[in-house]
Amino acid sequence: MSIGQNNIYAEQKMSLTPNRWDIVALIVVLGVIGAFIWSGRQMAAPYNIGQPLPISLDPRYLPSYSVRTVSRMLIGLFFSLLFTFIFGTWAAKSKQAEKFIIPLVDISQSVPVLAFQAISVVPFIMLFRGSLLGPECAAIFAIFTAQAWNMMLGFYQTVKTVPAELKEAADMFHLSAWQRFWRIEVPFSMPSLLWNTMMSMSASWFFVVATEAISVNNQTINLPGIGSYIALAIQQSNLQAVMYAIITMLIVIILYDQILFRPLVKWSEKFKAEEVESDNESFSLVVTILQRTRFIAYCGMIIGIISDLFVNSFTWLSKASSKRAVISKTVSKYVVWLWNTLLFGVCLATVFYLLQFILTAVNFHEIEHVFVLGLITAARVLILILLCSLIWVPVGVWIGMRPRAAQLAAPFVQFVAAFPANLLFPLVVILILRFHLNVQIWTTPLMILGAQWYILFNVIAGASALPKDLYHAANNFNVRGWLWWRRFVLPGIFPFYITGAITAAGGAWNASIVAEVVHWGHTTLRATGLGAYISEYTRLGDFHRIALGVGVMCLFVIALNRILWRPLYNLAEKRFGVL
Amino acid sequence: MAETIVEVKKVVKSFKKSAKQELLVLDDVDFTMREGEIVALLGKSGSGKSTLLRIIAGLIHPSYGDVNYRGEPVTEPANGIAMVFQNFALMPWLTVLQNVELGLEAIGIPRDERRQRALKAIDIIGMDGFESAYPKELSGGMRQRVGFARALVVEPDILLMDEPFSALDVLTADNLKSDLLDLWQQKKTRINAILLVTHNIEEAVEIADRILIFRSDPGRIRAELTVDIPHPRSDQDPRYRELVDQIYTLMTTSPDRPERLLAAGGKPREIGLGYRLPDVDISVLTGLVEEMADPEYAQRIDLPELSEELSLDVDDLLALTEILEILRFANISKGDIELTPAGRRFASADILQRKKIFAAHLIRYVPLARNIRRVLNERPSHRASEERFLGELEDYLSEEEAERVLKVVIDWGRYAEVFAYDYNTGILSLDNPE
């Protein structure tokens, strides 16, 4: 019939002889697969509690340590994706499920990662007796809790905003729930899901030290990995080893960024539901190589056929939705009412049980004390956000207003954001000791080291989104100096800034647990605050006080969200969201 | 008589607006579609015609009444019914070919056959060569062609079209319409009937064999016209012009206010507090009145002519004329419009005088504006929250519609300086703005 058909079938007939790009690609692929197989075998090695796991500071071990750490992260990522797909979709599709999933995830988000680990260690070790899998699973679970929540919430939000017309088109063309998921919901949310995944990966680096050291029965199991390596280096105050670790992490981050995320970002560009073509497409070396290979491109086609089968099987899922409408209105109303009551009851019971559990070991006086600690940490978080804003807003505006600078800065900022800030903690400790600085004040900036980039990111995005016309108009009317900031730039970037500040505040809360108590060799610097309280009792394994600390932290985070951030966000949307 | 394909019997649709109140969108709609015809559902926006289309499609369930497709009740999207959407509804992440294949994938056609059929459909619709393009690379007209190909490839019995040309510019739309009519007349597809939803009068007259005119609030079929002008239809054809005139007349007179009353100089249009005022921009309204007062026009102006002259969408023009009539700036009868003396005064006044005339008419003839002004006058503070009036409006309208109507009146009131409004606090007052 046409040229078009020839084009489409042309790819099937192409030569299978590998070219030189194939060799490069093949080495990379085989190398990656080999490393993970090795890592998997190590994870399932036999192990009994009490058996020492030797960690060496010799840099020759670093490659194998990093493979194991990255494997844990990727496994965590896999489960986070699974969790995201299942619960994100469920919450987006069912009003009843939404009512408990979303608040639950919201609360989980404000629960510190370490608390999850403390709870999960014993069950996992019991489950895999005599194998290293138990502690490994506990570590992976902790990583999962650092990754899953924002991915799931982001996915849920995008699935809810799938345009009505696309949904109707899917209905009209009889797509099954399974096909709809893979053909509409996943592609539609792909760009934001990928972005959140990259954020999650950075977040899990932040906790890598904490998650690989597992305390159980007053002993610490140090799983082989970069985290344990760093912990040991800090314990022995070995600055050189810390430097090795930093360099290794840099290389690892660059590697998985190039091998995993760049290609995915490149690929996800086609999922952007935009009306017009944008001109700044990203570049990926790996994609370029893959596009030049022959054999691998052929494999790609095979994958295409398999994924086709994958999406188009499970047709039995198709008619499930239509039957539901048959249930009469009164019955469904009754069911909804019952469901709400049940949820409320479960909530009440949980709160009651938790209170009872806490009160068996803790008196009211201590609870009061913990609240005061919460106030101190809250003050730290807010002051930090303010200080960071003073620094990063002008910088971000400066960069954002210059497209060249923004282009250059983007990959750099992304990179520093992915870099685990807690690696710099030892340096801060050394400085504090050296100059006899106040611990209460000078450990505080550690909380924001990782989270500050969110503010910078968003301000750059906001400033580059300011319409050029407004910029010219401001110039034209000679609006300068403070007036220029007050009437033009600050209102213009406000919505973006608020988004950044909310994320940064969330990050700072979570980081407070690692940042309020820092170690270097035999020195431990302890600031007063809720984070220090939780981290202290996590080390001691006192579950009553962990529950109290975590509960209070959740209360604070949620209260601040309601009182401060939500209203600001609404204001930003309503008043300044015109751009 | 040809076989009946779709039968709509006494369909009523209401949406819940609060626990107790329901908003009636469709009221007692009856009609049938037979083999071999193109039917147009014509009405103003918001008249419920798209809702009816979606009920026939099985996307929405009617509150009462039945829809049968080939004798079977429609409870979910039926095989044999395909739809073309106003904004195309193409998946941006799928290529043209993949988009067209989507409907076949869903019914489990094997990969190779799927591809053959999709390529053929793309070929028929004239998109050959763009198989591997993404929708974002295509112009609006080409995207809608893909939308058609996607619908044709499943070989539907009946094709539903929801304002398929309204997102396209005039030339593109004309081109696509004539291609579609060619396909239909030469029987290149297996489609047995087409149902077209539109608010464009000319479009309906150009394409359809039968036109059902919808009245709004609640939506019901007001009139049914048969078009027996042979294709291709020219807009110079006197039968064509006559039909367009007839439709304009039907659409500008409401059945509750019979034509003869107006013709006899009887009582003009009175509206209540909960009247769904159309969204009209003051500057467009002023522009229209000025244009109509231009000596080049006769006293009585033909509405189709005015629409063409100003290249105004029928929907917009009808909204404008409706409000001119409510404000007593113009009279409408038999598809013609004529300025009243007040309208002529408004046209020749300067900016400040215009505001005064407008203010006087607004308070006199729009009960909602009158009510707001009265409340503000009565209160010692001369201030009131918009919530108060919203609550009042919600006795008559849905929440969304109440907000829209209040916004329209606030806009007009601010222009006429009848009252002031603060966006941040939502307070209406008699203050002068600072």
A248 and A394 part of one domain = no
Candidates B22, B54, B93, B161: best to mutate against A (most CBs of A within 10 A) is B93
In this predicted structure, the answer to whether residue B278 has a pLDDT above a threshold of 90 is no
Give a yes or no: residue A289 inside a domain: no
In chain B, residues with a C-beta closer than 8 Å to the C-beta of A325 are: 61, 75
CATH number, position A202:
1.10.3720.10
A353 and A381 part of one domain = no
Q: What is the pLDDT of residue A317?
A: 52
Nearest to A258 by CA among A193, A188, A198: A198
A356 and A370 part of one domain = no
B113 C-beta neighbours (distance < 10 Å), count? 10
> Which whole number is the average pLDDT over A553-570?
86
The sign of the CA dihedral A445, A447, A450, A456 is negative
pLDDT interval class at A327 (50, 70, 90): low
The larger pLDDT score, comparing residue A403 to residue A319, is at: A403
In chain B, residues with a C-beta closer than 8 Å to the C-beta of A176 are: 106
Is the pTM of the predicted complex or chain greater than 0.90? Answer: no
In this predicted structure, the answer to whether residue A11 has a pLDDT above a threshold of 90 is no
Topology alike, domains B4-251 and B282-347: no
In this predicted structure, the answer to whether residue A190 has a pLDDT above a threshold of 80 is yes
The larger pLDDT score, comparing residue A118 to residue A490, is at: A490
**Interchain CB distance below 8 Å, A173 and B61:** no
Contact A270/B at CB under 8 A: yes
Contact A272/B at CB under 8 A: yes
Q: Does residue B434 sit in helix, strand or coil?
A: coil
Which segment of A28-32, A305-309, A323-327 scores lowest on mean pLDDT? A323-327
Report the residue from A8, A163, A169 with minimal CB separation from B131: A8
> Which whole number is the average pLDDT over A132-143?
88
Which segment of A286-290, B199-203, B325-329 scores lowest on mean pLDDT? A286-290
Q: What is the pLDDT of residue A372?
A: 93
Q: Which tens digits make up the pLDDT trace of A405-436? A: 877 777 677 677 767 777 777 778 888 888 88
Number of domains in chain A: 3
Report the residue from B81, B134, B154 with minimal CB separation from A270: B134
- Cα gap A183→A311, rounded to integer Å: 8
Helical packing angle, A226-235 and A239-256, nearest 10°? 160
Q: Encoding tokens for residue A53?
A: 């796991």
Nearest to A50 by CA among A235, A210, A218, A208: A218
A336 and A374 part of one domain = no
State the smallest CA–CA distance between residue A293 and chain B in angstroms. 21
The answer to whether the beta carbons of residues A178 and A317 sit under 8 Å apart is yes
**Interchain CB distance below 8 Å, A3 and B134:** no
Q: Which tens digits make up the pLDDT trace of B112-170? A: 899 999 999 999 888 888 988 988 888 888 999 999 999 999 889 999 999 999 888 88
**Interchain CB distance below 8 Å, A315 and B61:** no
In chain A, residues with a C-beta closer than 8 Å to the C-beta of B92 are: 270-274
pLDDT interval class at A568 (50, 70, 90): confident
Q: Using alpha carbons only, what angle is made at residue B57 by residues B53 and B62, rounded to the nearest 5 degrees?
A: 75
pLDDT above 70 as % of chain B: 94
Return the residue of B nearest to A321 by Cα.
B76
Give a yes or no: residue A154 inside a domain: yes
**Interchain CB distance below 8 Å, B131 and A4:** yes
In this predicted structure, the answer to whether residue B369 has a pLDDT above a threshold of 60 is yes
Q: What is the pLDDT of residue B20?
A: 61
H helical segments located in A95-162: 95-110, 113-127, 133-160
Give a yes or no: residue A145 inside a domain: yes
Looking only at the bridges linking them, the beta strands covering B193-198 and B330-333 are unpaired
Q: Encoding tokens for residue A400?
A: 């954002």
In this predicted structure, the answer to whether residue A354 has a pLDDT above a threshold of 60 is yes
Give a yes or no: residue A340 inside a domain: yes
A368 and A353 part of one domain = no
Q: Which tens digits make up the pLDDT trace of A278-320? A: 445 566 666 676 666 666 667 777 777 777 777 776 655 554 4
In total, chain B counts a number of residues equal to: 434
A337 and A374 part of one domain = no
> What's the distance, Cα to Cα, between the start and end of chain A in Å?
48
Return the residue of A nearest to B423 by Cα.
A575
Exposure letters A365-392 (e unless 16+ CB within 10 A, then b) = eebeebeebbebbbebbeebbeebbeeb
Q: What is the pLDDT of residue B38?
A: 93
CA dihedral A88, A94, A99, A104 (to 10 degrees): -20
In chain A, residues with a C-beta closer than 8 Å to the C-beta of B82 are: 172-173
Decide which of 3.40.50.300, 3.40.630.10, 3.40.605.10, 1.10.10.10 is the CATH code for B4-251: 3.40.50.300
State the smallest CA–CA distance between residue B134 and chain A in angstroms. 8
H helical segments located in B153-281: 170-185, 201-207, 238-252, 259-263
Return the residue of A nearest to B106 by Cα.
A175
In chain A, residues with a C-beta closer than 8 Å to the C-beta of B140 are: none
State the smallest CA–CA distance between residue A569 and chain B in angstroms. 15
Alpha carbon A554 to its chain centroid, in Å, reads 18
Q: What is the pLDDT of residue B262?
A: 40
Domain boundary among A305, A340, A360: A360
Q: Which residues pair with B214 in a beta bridge?
A: B221
Return the residue of B nearest to A311 by Cα.
B105
The sign of the CA dihedral A306, A307, A308, A313 is positive
H helical segments located in B132-233: 140-152, 170-185, 201-207
The answer to whether the beta carbons of residues A206 and A344 sit under 8 Å apart is no
Q: Which residues pair with B300 in a beta bridge?
A: B338
Q: What is the pLDDT of residue A282?
A: 60
Chain A with chain B: Cβ pairs closer than 8 A:
105
In chain A, residues with a C-beta closer than 8 Å to the C-beta of B16 are: none
Return the residue of A nearest to B78 by Cα.
A172
Contact A158/B at CB under 8 A: no
- Cα gap A343→A575, rounded to integer Å: 36
In chain B, residues with a C-beta closer than 8 Å to the C-beta of A187 are: 91, 93-94
> Which whole number is the average pLDDT over A61-71?
89
3-state helix, strand, coil in chain B (%, to 5): 45, 20, 35
Give a yes or no: residue A167 inside a domain: yes
In this predicted structure, the answer to whether residue A351 has a pLDDT above a threshold of 50 is yes
Q: What is the pLDDT of residue B209?
A: 92
Give a yes or no: residue A18 inside a domain: no
Q: Encoding tokens for residue A100?
A: 């408990």
A158 and A251 part of one domain = yes
Interface of B with A (CB under 8 A): 54, 57-59, 61, 75-77, 79, 81-83, 85-89, 91-94, 97, 102-103, 105-108, 111, 115, 119-120, 122-123, 128-132, 134, 136-137, 150, 154, 424
A351 and A376 part of one domain = no
Angstrom CA distances, B223 to A111, A536, B37, B247, stand at: 64, 80, 18, 9
Decide which of 1.10.10.10, 3.30.230.10, 1.10.10.60, 1.10.287.1260 is the CATH code for B282-347: 1.10.10.10
Which ipTM was obtained for this model?
0.72
Report the residue from B88, B91, B111 with minimal CB separation from A184: B91
Three-class SS of chain B: CCCEEEEEEEEEEEEECCCCCEEEEEEEEEEEEECCCEEEEECCCCCCHHHHHHHHHCCCCCCEEEEEECCEECCCCCCCEEEECCCCCCCCCCCHHHHHHHHHHHCCCCHHHHHHHHHHHHHHCCCCCCCCCCHHHCCHHHHHHHHHHHHHCCCCCEEEEECCCCCCCHHHHHHHHHHHHHHHHCCCCCCCEEEEEECCHHHHHHHCCEEEEEECCCEEEEEEEECCCCCCCCCCCHHHHHHHHHHHHHHHCCCCCCHHHHHCCCCCCCCCCCCCCCCCCHHHHHHHHHHHHCCCCCCEEEHHHHHHHCCCCHHHHHHHHHHHHHCCCEEEECCEEEECHHHHHHHHCCHHHHHHHHHHHHHHHCHHHHHHHHHHHHCCCCEEEHHHHHHHHCCCCCHHHHHHHHHHHHHHHHHCCCCEEECCCCEEECCCCC
The answer to whether the beta carbons of residues B72 and B64 sit under 8 Å apart is no
Q: What is the pLDDT of residue B17?
A: 62
The answer to whether the beta carbons of residues A452 and A506 sit under 8 Å apart is no
Contact A273/B at CB under 8 A: yes
In this predicted structure, the answer to whether residue A214 has a pLDDT above a threshold of 70 is yes
A215 and A126 part of one domain = yes
Nearest to B248 by CA among B297, B301, B299: B301
pLDDT interval class at B434 (50, 70, 90): very low
In this predicted structure, the answer to whether residue A326 has a pLDDT above a threshold of 60 is no
Instruction: Tell me the average pLDDT of chain B.
Output: 85
Give a yes or no: residue A298 inside a domain: no
> Could you tell me the residue ranges of all domains in chain B?
4-251, 282-347, 351-429
Q: Which tens digits make up the pLDDT trace of B59-104? A: 888 888 899 999 888 888 888 899 999 888 888 888 899 899 888 8
pLDDT interval class at B268 (50, 70, 90): low
Which segment of A14-23, A87-96, A498-507, B23-32 scores lowest on mean pLDDT? A14-23
A150 and A125 part of one domain = yes
DSSP states of A212-243 as a string?
Answer: HEEEETTEEEE-SSHHHHHHHHHHTT-HHHHH
Query: Which residues, including other chains, have CB under 8 Å from residue A191's CB and lie 6 or more apart?
Result: A268, A269, A271, A272
A504 C-beta neighbours (distance < 10 Å), count? 27
Residue B172: how many CA atoms within 13 Å on its side-chain side?
Answer: 14
Which segment of A101-105, A183-187, A215-219, A279-283 scores lowest on mean pLDDT? A279-283
B381 C-beta neighbours (distance < 10 Å), count? 9
> Which whole number is the average pLDDT over B416-434?
81
In this predicted structure, the answer to whether residue A321 has a pLDDT above a threshold of 60 is no
Candidates B74, B105, B107, B146: best to mutate against A (most CBs of A within 10 A) is B105
A211 and A342 part of one domain = no
pLDDT interval class at B263 (50, 70, 90): very low
Give a yes or no: residue A193 inside a domain: yes
pLDDT interval class at A8 (50, 70, 90): very low
In chain A, residues with a C-beta closer than 8 Å to the C-beta of B137 are: 277
Range of the domain at A342: 327-360
State the smallest CA–CA distance between residue B398 and chain A in angstroms. 20
Q: What is the pLDDT of residue A1?
A: 35
A170 and A257 part of one domain = yes
Q: Which tens digits make up the pLDDT trace of A72-93? A: 999 999 999 999 999 999 988 8
> What's the distance, Cα to Cα, between the start and end of chain B in Å?
71
Phi, psi at B108, each rounded to 5° = 75, 30
Q: What is the pLDDT of residue A323?
A: 45
Q: Encoding tokens for residue B233?
A: 């239809």
B108 C-beta neighbours (distance < 10 Å), count? 13
